[in-house]
Every structure is written in C-alpha cells, then in structure tokens.
A and B are shown apart, each in its own frame.
Chain A
Amino acid sequence: MAGIGGTSTRASPAADPSSSHFALVAARRSRGREGILLGEIAMSPMTAAAGILLAFTTSGAIRGAADKGVKASPAEQKIAWAQQAIEKNPSRHQSYNELAMALARRARETSDVSFYAQADAALEKSFQLAPDNLEGEKVRTWVLLGKHEFAKARELARALNKRTPDDVLIYGFLADANIELGSYDEAEEAAQWMLDIRPGNVPGLTRAAYLRELFGDIDGSIELMNSAYQQTQPAETEDRAWILTQIAHLHILTGKLADAEKLLQQALTLFPGYHYALGNLAQVRIAQRQYSKAVELLRQRYEGAPHVENLYALAEALERSGNLGEAKAAYREFERRACKEIAWADNANRELIFYYADHARQPERALRIARLEAGRRRDVHTLDAYAWALYASGRFAEARRQIESALAVGVRDSKLFYRAGAIALKSRDRLAAARYFKQSLDLNPRSESAGVARKALLRLEQQASTRSRSGSHGS
C-alpha cells in the first residue's frame, strides 16, 4: 500500500520585483536540469552570452507562438517585451533585470528550472552594466529562492533590507527564506512589516496567509487569500490560478473536497494544465478514492513538470490504483533520480525520506538523508520527515522531540497529527497518541491517513476499555 508518509508539495509566496503589481510565488520544486522540458537547448547556465542568446531564442519562440495564434502566458509576454527593450537599447541594465524577472516567472509557470539559469545570465549582464543595482539584486534574491538556496537568499535579503528598508518586496524575500529555513519569528516579523507598510498588498497578504496556515489558523489563511485574490488583476491569470489553488489546498486540509474541486477547476480554466492545480486536484481524487483519475492527473502533471518528486506522487497513486507493476517502475525511477540530487539545494530529499521509510524499508538510509536535510533547514515539513525517519529506524524518543518541535509551530495537518500519534504510541504514551489520532480525524476525516488513524484510535480505545474492565474486576 501507499505509505501514509505522503508529502505535499507546497508553494510559498514570493514576489515579483519587476512588476507594477506583485506576483505571488517563486517556482517551487522547479526542475529540469536534465533539460527535459527544454532538452533541445544546450545551455551553459552561467555564461552570460549564452544565456542572453538563449533568452533571445526563447523570445523568438514566443513571437512565433504568437504569430500562430497561440496565446502567450503573462511571463512569456513579459519576456518578449524585455527582449524588445534590449534590442532597442542594449546598454539599459534595467531591461536585463526585467528579462531575468520574466524568466523567473516563467520558471514558476512551467516549473522548468532552466529558466533560472537564463535569468542568472541576464542578471550577469545587468550587473556588468550597473554593478550592485538594487532591482537586479532583488531579482537575484528571487532566483536564489527559486533554486532553494534559502540561506544565501536570506543573507542577501537581509543586506538589501538594511539598504532599503521601505521596500515591501524585500520583506517578502525575508519572509520566504525564513519560512523555508524554519525561522518563523523572523518570517512573521517580515510579513507583518509588509502588511504595515502597504496595507492590503498582495504579496504581503499571501505570505501572511501562509504563515497563518503554518500557525494552524486555516480559516484566517483563507480570509487573507480571498483578499489577495480580489486584489489581483484578472489579466494575471497565473497569479489568480495560484491563489485559487492555494485556497483549494486549504480546503483539502480540512476535508472540504467539493469546495476545493470547484476552485481547482476554476484555476485550470484560467491557466490550462496548471501543474499546481493538477497536483491538488489529484489529492482531491485520492481523498475520494478515485485513484485512477488521480493517476491520470498526476501523469498529466508529470508530463508537463517532470520533477522527480512529481514522479513520487504518481508512483504512490499508481500503487493505490492497483497498478503495481507500473508503480514499482516509477518508484525505481524516482529513487534513481532523487539519489542523484541528495546533495543539491533543490532536491527531492523529503520524498526520498518517506520513500525509504515507508516503501523501500530502508530506514537507516531515510535517517541519513533526513539528518542531512535537517542540518540545512528546520522548517515544519523537514522536521516532520526527520521525525518519521527516526520513527522508522526505531529512535522513538528523538522522533517524538522532532515531531513535537514541528507541531509547536502550531501547524494543523492531519498527516502530521497521525504521524505524531504513531510516534507517541511507540513512545508508550497512549494518551498523547489517542489525542493526536483524534486531532487528525477531527481536522480531516477524509485525509489520506484517516483510515489508519481511525483504526489506531479504535485499537487504543478498545485497549483502554479492556484495561478498565480488568481494573474493575480486580478492584
């Protein structure tokens, strides 16, 4: 069976410093170093000339698409505009910043990390023309976040914040980097400054919403996401699709599947084939036990965004649907690719931990990777995976410390609660275990872990009842 250590791919908010409005997220889990999506383009990512050339090529492709009547995405349009500006005036550094930002946005739209390399190349040109220019540094921070180089991004964001403390988006970068690193106090402070300096700004609202979610205030998170949606221009289709997907995700957390599905369908109408929406819709189908439909959605997502962690979700769905042969092959492929990336900043280590803990029955390998990852970041999701690896390898006391550190942030997630229950049970704390299982079920009676949580809770209740009876007999 599919492990209950299922992961959720979650995009945190980031901002678009090149835009008059604010974009919402950096590309997360954006992959494709192997060039799968743009495999036809051989690229030396750090070579400015090659990058610029590539950007021109991309622009040409976009123009071609436009000629053929294919509607360009918002990011594609911005890439084309930036290219035109560069053609007119190649010595204007801001045009390269705009190109870099548009490429970074395209990375989010497509989930293709090669756009970040192109963005780096454009930035290199910008800095040649105007060393240390602020807008360029802001895009650089964005790109670092997109590449999951969170510590570097935070360092740069702190320096930029000191230089220009009124810049709202730099607070956004600070919030993003600190959320990913698990420094929630600093993240909250930065997000609060965003809300204070420019009340109602969309990037501030989305970041505050994400923090509310992490602090366990799901309704409050939805409230802010709704505000963000209302303030996002209709033309920003991907931004709006992203917000709708996030609200849907929040509904999924509490088992409101019909509400979630409605929003996800809207997102997919706004931005057809949107990879985030496909992944969330697949979660809805899994909760509805429509595994074959989930497989189709995840297959579609993987075709568009062939990230290794997307393959993991597909493998789990295949397993649930009973297609064990294909699931096995998918797991094998996942393991092969994920192992290559263990040491990279942008990796699939979280999925790999759960894979080794739940599927491959290699808990020591899970633990080794978890320790590596926990040394880099202390966010809720990393601590959760670390705790699970400790649990799988029989280190229950330490597992309990780690899972409770994660829960102390305030996060409410049925899977985390279930895992906390399982860990507490092995720690011989039946009361805590029952409390966690109950929290898991109360929050979302239709979660992936609801079945096992229900069984475990029932067993505990039966044991308690038996003990109570034997106690009565004995008295």
Chain B
Amino acid sequence: MKNRRSTPAPIVGLAVLISQAALAANHREAPITALDHKADITDVYAFVSYGPRQAPNEPPSKVTMILSVDPFLEPANGPTLFPFDPDILYEIKVDNDHDAIADVTFRFRFSSEYQLPTVYTAVAGIGDQGAFQPGTDILVVPPQIRDFNNPGLNLRQTYTVTMVKNGVETPIVNNDGSPFFTVPANAGPRTMDYAALFRAGTYSNLCTTGISVFAGTTDDAFWIDLGAAFDTANFRTLGSGVPGVLTDEEDEPIYVRARNFASDTVSGYGVNSIAIEVPIELLTRTGAIEPPGSPDATIGVWGSTSRPRVTVRRSPNPSESRGPWRQVQRMGNPLINELLVGIGSKDRFSMDQPANDSQFADFFLDPPIVHIVEALYAGALSVPSAPRLDLLPLVTYAPPIASPDTPPGPIADLLRLNTGVPATPFEQASRLGLIGGDHAGYPNGRRVFDDVTDITLRVGVGGVLIPDFNHFPNNRLGDGVNVNDAEYRTSFPFLADCPNGRNRRHIDPGEPGGGPIQ
C-alpha cells in the first residue's frame, strides 16, 4: 500500500487514465461491438422498483431490469429512425442460485412493418385531422401520431416477450391479446405526441404475472463528460483546482439536489431501451420475497445480444445452415469489459458466458490500469495493491451486497442485486449509491440515476471500499457530470422521454449547465 500524496499532478493523471480507459460509457467497448452498432449494449440496470410516493423501508415487491442498446441515437436523424433489429435476440438473464448460469431469462424479439410503404419517411403526422390535398378530401399527411394504429407511424415495430424458467418457455402476452408495440424515436412535436405513445407503449401488470414491459427509443439514461474523456481525458478544472476532483459542494450526493459542472455529452441523444418489471417471487430461487439477510435474496443480472450464426454442424434440416445464436455482447457491471479486460480478450469476453469468467480473473483482481497509473506516477498515488479483493463484490456474491453466508459462486460479471433491500425514495436517493450511504444503489444493482462514472472512479481505482483508501481525493474523483439532462420517470419504466428531433439540445461546454471550456 502506498502513502498518499495529495499532489495535484498525480490526481490529474489518475483521472486522465481512468477516464480514457473506462468512462466512454459502455459504447463500442470491444472490437466486435464497435462493428455492430445495433447489438451494442450501452447499459444494464436492475433495481428494486420504487414509486412516486415511495416510503422509506417500504417492503420490496418488484424488480425492474433495463437493457439499453444502440448508442448515440440522434433523434433528428430521419427518415428511418432507429428500429430494433429483428435479427437480434435481446435477452435479460437472472442467476438466482449463485452459479452464474441463467435460471430465469427474458427474451425479446422484434418485427417491423411499413404501414405506408410508398411514403418517404418512417413517421409523419400533423394536427388532429392531418393534411389534405388542397380542394380534395385526399389525405396526404396523417394526423399527429398519438397511438400505434395511426398510419403516420409508417415504420411500426412489435415485439414478443418470452420468459424461460427451468427450461419452460412462457410467452408473456398483452392483457387483451394485442401485440406489444415499440415506442419510436421522438421525431418532433408536429409529428407525434411522444408522451402519449410512451404511455400507450408501457404495458403494466400483464395478465396474471404482474409483469410490466416496455421497449422503445428513449432518452439515454446515462450521463458523462465523454468529450473530455476522449480528448486524452482532458477533464475540466472545477472548484478544487484539480481536474477530475470535485469539491464537497460539487459532489452533492442526493440526486435531486445535484447539478452539473461539466457537459453531459450524451445529452440530447436517445438509446433503444427494453425494460421489464417482474415480481420478485418470479426471480428468486425460493419463489418468495427474501429478506436482505437471506442468501437467496441476492440475484445476478446481465443482458446479452445475439445474432444467428453459421454452425460447424448444420441443423437436421440440410437446407438450414443457420443454427442457434452467437452472442455478440453481454454486460453485467458497467465497467468490466471497458476498464479491466485486455484488448486481446475483449471479444472473447463479450461472446463468452459469465460462468466462464474465471479465465479473466487476473484482469478483475489485478487490473492492469492500476499498474499503469503506478508506473506513470512513480508511486505518488495512493492506489490499492493487487489482488484487489475489494472488487470481489462486483464479480462474486459477497458483502456488502449479499449477506455474509451467501455462496460466492464463480467469478463472473453479473450485476448483483439484493432484492430484499428496500428501494430508497427518489427524493432521498444518492447518486453515489452504496458508497453514498444509499444501500439500494450501485453496486447493489444499478438504478438509472446512479452515477456509475464517479462510483467507478472511486471504487475501481480509488479503492474506497477499503477504509484506508476512503479519503480525499480518492473519494472525490468525478467528472463533474452529476445528473441527467432529462427528467426520469419515478415509475416503470423509469426512463425519460427521447429528446425530440426538432428541438433536441446537446449541451456543450461553455453554455449553461455545460461547465467550463477549460
């Protein structure tokens, strides 16, 4: 363990290196996903659901899981907008018996149709009645899109949801048997009433399952000063005078009180999101809501995208050479592949199963990035030594997320969630999650408003889960972006509206809320 020296230069270097390696969100983190935009998972969230009138310590009842894909969707970018890819199998998986193998899987498949194949754009609409050819009753432009049956929703997508549990596939269907529609990107206020479509596309308490589902183009719930990160991590100098280190004032932990001191590069962009809310009884091994001290309370969640593959052995049908699926990407925690896995192993990591992650254990527990920091700054930084056992809660079932008597299971990149921990009321929730004293936040699951950038800097690099490292500046590392540019919902699916294409705003440095240019 090194002595800490609070000199500015090493701290800058620390933030620089980490942000370059890790904080590019989860976009394009491996060569194969860089080439496959539609299958690129940006974020996975899993948390105990809460409501607008959530009371403290209210017993948990449901878990929401969100899989976001297809990064940096510019809502002004017509005419085809951003459908989900019908060739991709989107999955959210849950391990409930600590072996890193999925026990409950939710599968999502999409289909596309054009309602007006001769019209040039995916969406078109105006007013209550639409627009007619002058002097005739020939409808040229459909009315503003407010529901999924409007022909102006030219490119219309539906999707199916299947729950697989113990090998049994159960279709999750709409209450009235009608298909689930995806919510399109928000082309603009003339074309559509996006909020109405969002409401219509939120399917709650389906049949007898109590499951709710949503799929569509939404605001990207993630936030970060990505521009600074990719300019060789040229983070902005804020109140501390040290780039990448926040003052107490800048580091307001309560999300609803926090504000931004740097520009959210993801602001004004959409992302394709799949969300599902599931009663906890359907997820736990015991089929019951377990108290937080129970080993069975903690589950592991991850998302994956897969495409059909050519198999060495063809299926029994000789004319059919496309067999099962090849996984393009998977994600549990928001940092593992980006920050820890070596460049020569990233594709294998993306395509392999979490249960096989012991092959990457050296990356997890002895992150090369820390050695780089040490080498560059000649021991002037206070960084934990390998093996980084303090990171075990991210890759095994361990306290402080799981109860102490929980079997740790194999090393695996899963987003661990103790389903017995009550949700924190939104107004009281800390963007810093567990290290902010909010037990319902990352890395105990991940909520949409958890500041995983700052948490990652502090936990992954600063080592603040080790008491000896939980001090300044390790516990004040941050990029200065503390809140989302859009307002999250406080009920399922908890996501914010997709920015509208006509008036969307990407917040730049130098403008209000964008932080300084320097």
Chain A interface (Cβ within 8 Å of chain B)? 162-167, 188, 191-193, 195-197, 199, 208, 211-212, 215, 217, 219-220, 223-224
Q: Looking at the complex, which of B154-162, B310-318, B415-423 is the stretch in contact with chain A?
A: B310-318
Would you give 15 A-B contacts (Cβ < 8 Å), ordered by A? A164-B345, A165-B345, A166-B343, A166-B348, A188-B312, A191-B312, A192-B312, A195-B310, A195-B311, A196-B326, A196-B351, A199-B309, A199-B326, A217-B318, A220-B318
B32 an interface residue at 8 Å Cβ cutoff? yes
Inter-subunit contact B312/A166 (CB<8 Å): no
Inter-subunit contact A223/B348 (CB<8 Å): no
Other than the given A195-B311, A196-B351, A197-B32, 16 more pairs (CB < 8 A) read A165-B345, A165-B348, A166-B31, A166-B343, A166-B344, A166-B345, A167-B344, A188-B313, A192-B311, A193-B348, A197-B348, A211-B312, A212-B313, A215-B313, A217-B318, A223-B321
B347 an interface residue at 8 Å Cβ cutoff? yes
A215 to B, closest residue via Cβ:
B313
The one of A164, A165, A199 in contact with B310, judged by C-beta atoms closer than 8 angstroms, is A199
| A-B pairs with lowest CB-CB distance, top 7 | A165-B348, A164-B344, A196-B326, A166-B347, A208-B312, A220-B314, A165-B345
Question: Quick one: which of B295-319 are within 8 Å of A by CB?
Answer: 307, 309-314, 318
A190 to chain B, nearest CB (A): 10
B346 an interface residue at 8 Å Cβ cutoff? yes
Question: Quick one: which of B330-357 are within 8 Å of A by CB?
Answer: 343-348, 351
CA of A164 to CA of B342, assembled, Å: 9
B312 contact set on A, CB distance < 8 A? 188, 191-192, 195, 208, 211-212, 215
B327 contact set on A, CB distance < 8 A? 196
The one of B310, B326, B346 in contact with A166, judged by C-beta atoms closer than 8 angstroms, is B346
Inter-subunit contact B347/A197 (CB<8 Å): yes
CA of A197 to CA of B36, assembled, Å: 12
A208 contact set on B, CB distance < 8 A? 310, 312
CA of A291 to CA of B498, assembled, Å: 75
B319 to A, closest residue via Cβ:
A219
B309 to A, closest residue via Cβ:
A196
CA of A217 to CA of B315, assembled, Å: 11
CA of A197 to CA of B344, assembled, Å: 12
B175 an interface residue at 8 Å Cβ cutoff? no
Inter-subunit contact B344/A165 (CB<8 Å): yes
CA of A354 to CA of B15, assembled, Å: 70
Question: Quick one: which of B1-57 are within 8 Å of A by CB?
Answer: 31-32
Inter-subunit contact B346/A195 (CB<8 Å): no
B359 an interface residue at 8 Å Cβ cutoff? yes
CA of A217 to CA of B312, assembled, Å: 10
CA of A223 to CA of B347, assembled, Å: 27
Chain B interface size range: 20 to 34
A239 to chain B, nearest CB (A): 20
B345 contact set on A, CB distance < 8 A? 164-166
A196 contact set on B, CB distance < 8 A? 309, 326-327, 351
Inter-subunit contact A217/B311 (CB<8 Å): no
A163 contact set on B, CB distance < 8 A? 344
Chain B interface (Cβ within 8 Å of chain A)? 31-32, 307, 309-314, 318, 321, 326-327, 343-348, 351, 359
> Which of the listed residues B343, B346, B351, B359 has the most CB atoms from chain A within 10 Å of its own CB?
B351
CA of A206 to CA of B52, assembled, Å: 58
The one of B31, B32, B309, B359 in contact with A195, judged by C-beta atoms closer than 8 angstroms, is B309
B31 contact set on A, CB distance < 8 A? 166
B359 contact set on A, CB distance < 8 A? 162, 165
A224 contact set on B, CB distance < 8 A? 310
CA of A219 to CA of B318, assembled, Å: 8
B328 to A, closest residue via Cβ:
A196
> Which of the listed residues A196, A217, A223 has the most CB atoms from chain B within 10 Å of its own CB?
A196
CA of A61 to CA of B181, assembled, Å: 69
A134 to B, closest residue via Cβ:
B344
A210 to chain B, nearest CB (A): 10
A162 contact set on B, CB distance < 8 A? 359
The one of B314, B343, B347 in contact with A217, judged by C-beta atoms closer than 8 angstroms, is B314
B307 contact set on A, CB distance < 8 A? 199
A311 to chain B, nearest CB (A): 35
CA of A223 to CA of B314, assembled, Å: 11
B343 contact set on A, CB distance < 8 A? 166
> Which of the listed residues A167, A192, A215, A224 has the most CB atoms from chain B within 10 Å of its own CB?
A192
> Which of the listed residues B31, B314, B326, B359 has the most CB atoms from chain A within 10 Å of its own CB?
B314
A165 to chain B, nearest CB (A): 4
> Which of the listed residues A165, A188, A195, A199 has the most CB atoms from chain B within 10 Å of its own CB?
A165
CA of A192 to CA of B313, assembled, Å: 9
CA of A167 to CA of B345, assembled, Å: 8
CA of A162 to CA of B347, assembled, Å: 13
A410 to B, closest residue via Cβ:
B313
The one of B321, B344, B348, B351 in contact with A220, judged by C-beta atoms closer than 8 angstroms, is B321
B344 contact set on A, CB distance < 8 A? 163-167
CA of A448 to CA of B314, assembled, Å: 29
A65 to chain B, nearest CB (A): 39
> Which of the listed residues A166, A191, A197 has the most CB atoms from chain B within 10 Å of its own CB?
A166
> Which of the listed residues B31, B307, B312, B326 has the most CB atoms from chain A within 10 Å of its own CB?
B312
A205 to B, closest residue via Cβ:
B310
B31 to A, closest residue via Cβ:
A166
A217 to B, closest residue via Cβ:
B314
A220 contact set on B, CB distance < 8 A? 314, 318, 321
CA of A166 to CA of B359, assembled, Å: 13
A197 to B, closest residue via Cβ:
B347
B475 to chain A, nearest CB (A): 35
B344 to A, closest residue via Cβ:
A164
A185 to chain B, nearest CB (A): 11
B346 to chain A, nearest CB (A): 6
Given A219-B318, A220-B321, the answer on whether A197 and B351 have CB atoms closer than 8 Å is: yes
B87 to chain A, nearest CB (A): 12
B310 contact set on A, CB distance < 8 A? 195, 199, 208, 224
A168 to B, closest residue via Cβ:
B347
B389 to chain A, nearest CB (A): 24
CA of A211 to CA of B31, assembled, Å: 27
CA of A223 to CA of B315, assembled, Å: 14
A217 contact set on B, CB distance < 8 A? 313-314, 318
A227 to chain B, nearest CB (A): 8
B314 contact set on A, CB distance < 8 A? 212, 217, 220
CA of A165 to CA of B362, assembled, Å: 14
A166 contact set on B, CB distance < 8 A? 31, 343-348
A226 to chain B, nearest CB (A): 12
A191 contact set on B, CB distance < 8 A? 312
B491 to chain A, nearest CB (A): 39
A296 to chain B, nearest CB (A): 38
CA of A162 to CA of B358, assembled, Å: 12
B313 to A, closest residue via Cβ:
A215
A192 to chain B, nearest CB (A): 5
